[in-house]
Amino acid sequence: MLVCGALAVLAQTKVTLNTDLAKTQINKHIYGHFAEHLGKCIYGGMYVGEGNTKIPNTAGVRNDVIQALRDLKVPNLRWPGGCFADAYQWKDGIGPKANRPKMVNIWWGGVTEDNSFGTHDFLDMCERIGAEPYLAGNVGSGTVKDLADWVTYVNHPAGSPMSELRKKNGRETPWNVKLWGVGNEAWGCGGNMTAEYYSNIYRQYATFMSDHKDAKLYKIASGASDGQYDWTETLMKNIPHNMMQGVALHHYSVLSWGDKGPSVGFSEAQYFKTMDEAWKMDEFIKGHSTIMDKYDPAKKVALIVDEWGGWYNVEEGTNPGFLYQQNTMRDAMIAGLTLNIFNNHADRVKGANLAQIVNVLQAVILTNEEKMLLTPTYHVMKMYNVHQDAKLIPIDIEAPSYEFNGKKLTAVSVSASKDAQNAVNISLTNIDYTKVHEVTINLRGEDFSKVSGQILASSKISDHNTFEQPNKVSIKDFSGAKLEKGVLKLTIPAYSVVVLKVIK
């Protein structure tokens, strides 16, 4: 860790927290995850099969993964895709496993999907993790009836053909799934539609997705990628707002789609570009929110960033269609920065899903046979979970820049919230590659007496956890923050994440 030394220079970050003005709730669903039938996310990752005697499991799902995700407090889990969602036939994934039809996963490696992990497996797994399921409906290649039936199958209490089929398949009570995606990336893998065409299709599909007794549906329209503002504008204009609770947005921190660079052993130029891409989340949220404000000034329709994260070239020797990559301190920086951005936009961003949960893209968990490890990104998500459902504290911030080759990025990002016990949690991420930053935080509005903290830092930006050394990067206690007369002072090391708790 570059605490001091030849390259380390102290720069000043000044923050004021208006602790008495906390109002907007940071929706816990901002801390959501995403599991697609892609590579070793489901098969060989979360799900190892009921007959597996080598890896302890419950109904085929790894016990160590269930426990790690419970500890993380995963609020929701999106499934079965992604691109896969618009090819998925949910009826092939219910009933006796031996009888389930197979299909080819056209999007991810052309592998055979045997449908052994289906609706019951996923929804039961969510219950074990304590996460709300977020089902992505097939609009690209499925019918209106298929999607309407799926809703009824999982939510209708009794007496309908679908609820009776569910019961026959072993589940008496409905799961009451509220979160539904109406297609995915409809402008691309979800059907290559125009925004106008999709708006009409959305209206049609959404009409037949019924609310049930204990499940009023929260329907999310397939949204834009990055700065595709005309997509959001068309949806906000053409879809009645009482039919749509959220509009999605996808943004990946990728160097270039042609060559995404390595996940470990990257240069500072590549690191800087990744951080630049991560900061763009702020620009895109502001851009899409401005359009949404025009049509929905009361902010009734939420922006749901249901895919985000770092995307690199796959690890050498792995299937290019499986998107398996390592996860370093660079990914911890993406996570810390992005979550601060989401928190600070809590008035419009009400949900988000990191892509993806296990063994794919910016995963929080990697597995290899019976081994499992938690990545730096896992640790950041865990440190930040104190913000779930807490009240956002408005902040004023003056932060110096991280400069590289004449370009500048804000080095330190901050967000803060007040929890149900009136404790204030402050998360800080310093993306600077070389500089330690001195931070002064003025706690305006209320008096506090005690501070404690945690830090995620490591000596090299490329540091990561391996199956041989699973705890190389891990959370440590941080006692470097001093509180005096309502002012907190600390120095935050280069490429590190600090979360502080102050109490009265």
Q: Could you say which residues in the range 432-491 bind ligand AHR, by CB under 6 A?
A: none
**Measured from the CB atom, is 133 or 223 closer to ligand AHR?**
223
138 touches ligand AHR (CB under 6 A): no
Residue reference for tokens 């601060």: 340
Q: Which of 36, 307, 369, 403 is catalytic?
A: 307
**Measured from the CB atom, is 117 or 404 closer to ligand AHR?**
117
Burial zone of 223 (CB within 10 Å; 0-12 exposed, 13-18 middle, 19+ buried): buried
Among 24, 184, 338, 430, binds ligand AHR (CB under 6 A): 184
With CB atoms as reference, the residue minimizing the distance to ligand AHR is 82
- How big is the site for ligand AHR, counted in residues (CB under 6 A)? 10
Nearest to 246 by CA among 27, 14, 474: 27
Question: Which residues fall within 8 angstroms of residue 112, CB to CB, at 6 or more apart?
Answer: 102, 103, 104, 105
**Measured from the CB atom, is 44 or 81 closer to ligand AHR?**
81
**Measured from the CB atom, is 355 or 428 closer to ligand AHR?**
355
Give yes or no: 307 in active site.
yes
124 touches ligand AHR (CB under 6 A): no
429 touches ligand AHR (CB under 6 A): no
Nearest to 365 by CA among 131, 71, 126: 71
**Measured from the CB atom, is 81 or 174 closer to ligand AHR?**
81
Closest separation in Å from C-beta 306 to ligand AHR:
9
* Residues 131/78, Cβ–Cβ less than 8 Å: no
Helix axes 144-155, 195-207, angle to 10 degrees: 40
Q: Which of 36, 132, 185, 277 is catalytic?
A: 185
* Residues 454/478, Cβ–Cβ less than 8 Å: yes
Distance CA 120, CA 135 (A): 12
Distance CA 55, CA 500 (A): 37
Among 355, 373, 380, 399, binds ligand AHR (CB under 6 A): 355
The single-letter code of the amino acid at 346 is: A
Alpha helices in 130-228 (DSSP H): 144-155, 161-168, 195-207
336 touches ligand AHR (CB under 6 A): no
Closest separation in Å from C-beta 83 to ligand AHR:
4
Among 86, 132, 277, 307, binds ligand AHR (CB under 6 A): 307
**Measured from the CB atom, is 17 or 139 closer to ligand AHR?**
139
Closest separation in Å from C-beta 270 to ligand AHR:
20
36 touches ligand AHR (CB under 6 A): yes
Q: Could you say which residues in the range 74-103 bind ligand AHR, by CB under 6 A?
A: 81-83
**Pairing between β-strand 371-374 and β-strand 76-79 as defined by DSSP bridges:** unpaired
Instruction: Count the alpha carbons within 13 Å of 355 in the hemisphere toward its beta carbon.
Output: 25
What is the token pair recorded at 212? 């049930």
Task: Write each residue from 360 to 389 as x if it is in contact with ligand AHR (CB under 6 A), else as -, in one continuous string.
Answer: -x----------------------------
Give yes or no: 484 in active site.
no
Helix axes 229-238, 195-207, angle to 10 degrees: 40
- What residues are annotated to the active site? 185, 307
Q: Which residues bind ligand AHR (CB under 6 A)?
A: 36, 81-83, 184-185, 307, 355-356, 361
